[in-house]
Chains A and B, each alone.
Chain A
């Protein structure tokens, strides 16, 4: 692994300080290009949201435009349905458990690698970093057998534990790199005062580590919230399905009624979009941290 201390998080919120003065013709060219690309990004999203307000007949003749008659019932029926809230809360429970365990186990292990010299520590660290090299899909069948033998099929834990296990490599790496860059004087001062490793971890390291906790937490949350293959393999009953599975089931049931499917898609991705615009600075920095820092 390369040294990462120099890598800065990607800052999306502050205006770019770089760049040269731009002539008007270039500026026109730049804006036209950017708006064109932005349209390609946004039009599918907006027409999905608008499509949810249409009737099927309206959708057939007019997929781009505003609905001729706004069918609010498409949306309200879903919002008032139990299945929407059930799958959202399933996703949330699984994601929160995943985040908590990834943070706890990752930070604890990384603390050992960052601050304690013990026999074989570098081998053990590399052992964890093997996990960065292959996706969960490679071992998904033996993983299924293992989870089945543990009696965790069709439970939240059957999804949470594999997700945490496959997230550990990244979280240990990010935590360890951060912990190592904390000032050593703190460590020395604490030890002179008779503070042990555990109290140091709890009272000094963790309070100073908010940025990296946020980063690892965001990576774990987003990857759990969006995960499809692990719950697909591990869960059987629809009452425990997180939203990516729920959306597929819904499409299977209402495959002939695109307008309902579109309303359903819109409502399921709405929390993501709202969260993204509220916390864009943290989310962009978090999701690109794993890439920039590895």
Chain B
């Protein structure tokens, strides 16, 4: 690919002239190739987002057309709702765990796998496997694992003669149990990002550090880690984005309960907007989620990923 890009860069003048001389023939292809994507995207992505903003000012159950204008009342209701606050806190917790637990774990495993050992390929596959599984399936499997009567945690407790624990039914513990599943499911993805980042590091830099007598840990802290900066920032970004979308996994595990202790923004939207057919309220939650997503994406890219 590098050869191709080099040659294409050296021939811009020629291409321009040829393209301009054939400019008349570009309209049929534009008229044929662009509209399918443009239409679908506009009708099913952009318009619904705009409509969400519009519907959010109404009290509407979805039948007929929205008539009962209530202004910003839906937004007031959202921010006064304890479950919503809990959802915000939980989403923050997921980001925190992603940054403080998942990324160090992924980096640690990536450095070990990247060192010259036998079976590296095997471990990579195993660690990536949970990421390929559907969130719903992972949630189901861990619901079994956490089950106090029939599951693995119950079995361990039984072995030690303790009472069967029911973590998912305990409002003080359930969220931490879910955080464990999140790490289990996604660390392999972050590890792959780090393996790719490690492969891109110039070996001669590490050899130079070797010659200067740096220890393994010094090399990691002073050479590898700074060179992985862009990968770390990318990894954090995906942790944040993923946390904002977390829904599929929560539904089989707890569905947002017990007593709303494990709601995330999307489960809140589902439980309070969709299942009760509160189109206006649910749309308002969607708008809040949209604003959070876009603000985070923009500021993060602006502030942290400027040079990447």
Contact = CB atoms under 8 A, between A and B. Distances in A.
B73 interface: no
B29 A198 contact: yes
A247 B37 CA distance: 33
Given A37-B109, A62-B155, A137-B247, A112 B30 contact: yes
B117 interface: yes
B196 A187 contact: no
Contacts of B129: 41, 45, 273, 276
A18 B198 contact: yes
A51 B136 contact: no
A20 interface: yes
A22 B116 CA distance: 7
A78 interface: no
B208 to A, nearest CB: 13
Interface size on A, as a range, is 35 or more
B303 interface: no
B120 A16 contact: yes
Given A118-B26, A247-B136, A272-B133, A161 B44 contact: yes
Consensus secondary structure, chain B interface: helix
B76 interface: no
Given A248-B251, A284-B192, A165 B41 contact: yes
A31 to B, nearest CB: 7
A109 B34 contact: yes
B52 interface: yes
A38 to B, nearest CB: 5
B7 A183 contact: yes
A286 B51 CA distance: 33
A185 to B, nearest CB: 7
A138 B296 CA distance: 15
Nearest to B1: A181
B144 A166 contact: no
A60 B150 contact: yes
Interface of A: 2, 5, 8, 10, 12-13, 15-22, 26-27, 30-31, 33-34, 37-38, 40-45, 47-48, 51, 56, 59-64, 104-106, 108-109, 111-112, 116-118, 124, 127-128, 130-131, 133-135, 137-146, 161-162, 164-166, 168-169, 172, 181-185, 187-188, 191-192, 196-198, 201, 222, 225-226, 228-229, 233, 244, 247-248, 251, 258, 261-262, 265, 268-269, 272-273, 276-277, 280, 283-284, 287-288, 291-292
Interface of B: 1, 4-5, 7-8, 11, 14-15, 18-19, 22, 25-26, 28-30, 32-34, 36-38, 40-41, 43-49, 51-52, 55, 62, 108-109, 112-117, 119-121, 123-137, 140-142, 144-145, 147, 149-152, 154-155, 158, 184, 188-189, 192-193, 195-196, 198-201, 203, 206, 210, 216, 234, 238, 244-245, 247-248, 251-252, 266, 269-270, 273-274, 279, 282-283, 286-287, 289-290, 293-294, 297, 305, 308
